[in-house]
Structure 1
């Protein structure tokens, strides 16, 4: 990826619905260049998809949490694969310190939240976890 690819991705992060013409104007390149770059980034799995970003509080009825996960031994890859299969996990990060992974969880209700916690804790290779509910934005 070069500077233009990075600027294109940054522009899409601001407005993922921007037209090719708008992106071309913003980046100072032709519409065809933007289309070719987008096609290449999607084909190379650099861009995995396009999504909607909501304003904080737009879904205030949703339950959100951060789960810190310690992985036993060298099973991180297997644990990550299993976690990515849970649709309630919206983001997954590796980290340093006492925990190996941090998962961002979002669910409809506490019953579903409890099921997700149980599912994660039953994944082979998960040694322990600690979960914190996200309350009001600060």
Structure 2
């Protein structure tokens, strides 16, 4: 396995793990929120809507990162970096997700782009969980929920 194959495989594995972990963490408030609604008027409507938007954003970015992970796996299955990235570009152009470029983007720039998406996802997840924690604290009036 060459160095670029290892980098693409590692990126695919890390993106897959991150998207699954963050997606499951975003589902936590969506599952427990409606259960806790009856508990002392858990969440005001606007707050619930705001938390819902952040959770859906995290889930949408998780799907995007899973797709990126599959693209990196496709690239790593080829012999050379040029052939792997050309296969990814061909797939994206056939799916009409990206127009063919004259000069293909290198692997490092593609990984950097995925990392930016990961940080956006983490920010949205943090915002979602902070809002959820504020609602839990507000609903309990500072007392333990148990």
Scaled by the length of structure 2, the TM-score of the pair is: 0.26
**Which structure carries more helix by proportion?**
2
Structure scoring higher RCO (CA < 8 A, sep ≥ 6) equals 2
TM-score, scaled relative to structure 1: 0.27
Structure number with bigger Rg: 2
